[in-house]
Amino acid sequence: MTGATQARFRRPAKRGMAPPRPGPGDQTAAAYRAGAGAIAAAGGTAKINRAGSRLESVGSEPHVQPLSLRLASGSARSRRRTLLDHVSYPSWVVLALGAAVGAVLAGASAAVVGCIVVLACATVLLGWRIGEDARTALEQEINGRSNELKKALSELEIAQAETVRRLSMAIEFRDEDTGAHIERIGRFSTLLAEQIGMDPEFCARLSHAAPLHDVGKVAIPDAILLKPGPLTPAERAIVETHAEEGHRLVRGSSSSILDMAATIALSHQEKWDGSGYPRGLAGEAIPIEGRIVAVADVFDALTSDRVYRKAFSVEDAVKMMREERGHHFDPEILDAFMEVLGRSGPDAREGIRADPVALMENTLETYATALERGDAEMAEGAIATAIEDGLPPTTLHAEVIAPALHYIGELSEAGEMDSAREHLALGITRRVLATLYRYMLGGTEPTRERVLLVVLEGDPHTLGLQMVHDQLAAAGYHTSFQTEASVEQLLATVGSQTPDVIILGATMAPAVESVVRAVKELRESHPDIPVMLRGAAVSDGLPGERPDMAVLERIDESVAAVEELLARPVPVPSL
Segment 268-308, tens digit of pLDDT? 999 999 999 999 999 999 999 999 999 999 998 888 777 66
Q: What is the mean pLDDT of the chain?
A: 75
pLDDT tops 80 at residue 528: yes
Written as one string, the DSSP assignment of 496-537 is HH--SEEEEE--STHHHHHHHHHHHHHHHH-TTS-EEEESHH
pLDDT tops 50 at residue 457: yes
pLDDT > 90: percent of the chain:
31
Q: How confident is the model at residue 69 (pLDDT cuts 50, 70, 90)?
A: very low
What pLDDT score does 47 carry? 42
Q: Which residues pair with 551 in a beta bridge?
A: 533
What pLDDT score does 30 carry? 36
Q: How confident is the model at residue 32 (pLDDT cuts 50, 70, 90)?
A: very low
- Domains of the chain as residue ranges with CATH: 3-70+150-420 (1.10.3210.10), 446-567 (3.40.50.280)
What pLDDT score does 117 carry? 67
403 close to 50: Cβ distance less than 8 angstroms: yes
pTM (predicted TM-score): 0.48
What pLDDT score does 258 carry? 85
- Give the other-Cβ count within 10 Å of 279's Cβ: 15
> What's the mean pLDDT in 175-197?
76
Alpha-carbon distance of 360 to 399, in angstroms, equals 7
Higher pLDDT, 456 or 344: 456
Alpha-carbon distance of 345 to 366, in angstroms, equals 20
Q: How confident is the model at residue 12 (pLDDT cuts 50, 70, 90)?
A: very low
pLDDT tops 80 at residue 200: yes
Higher pLDDT, 362 or 155: 362
What pLDDT score does 166 carry? 63
Alpha-carbon distance of 367 to 52, in angstroms, equals 11
Residue 140 DSSP SS3: helix
Q: How confident is the model at residue 105 (pLDDT cuts 50, 70, 90)?
A: low
Q: How confident is the model over 385-428, as pLDDT tens digits?
A: 888 778 889 889 999 999 999 999 899 989 999 999 999 999 99
pLDDT > 70: percent of the chain:
67
Three-state SS for 305-365 is CECCECCCCHHHHHHHHHHCECCCECHHHHHHHHHHHHHHCCCHHHHHHCCHHHHHHHHHH
What pLDDT score does 403 carry? 93
What pLDDT score does 25 carry? 37
Q: How confident is the model at residue 26 (pLDDT cuts 50, 70, 90)?
A: very low
pLDDT tops 50 at residue 208: yes
What pLDDT score does 543 carry? 46
What pLDDT score does 23 carry? 38
State phi, psi for 453 to the nearest 5 degrees: -115, 130
What pLDDT score does 19 carry? 36
Q: Are strands 501-505 and 531-534 parallel, antiparallel or unpaired?
A: parallel
> What's the mean pLDDT in 181-198?
85
Highest averaged pLDDT of the listed ranges 4-13, 91-100, 116-125, 482-491: 482-491
Q: How confident is the model at residue 142 (pLDDT cuts 50, 70, 90)?
A: confident
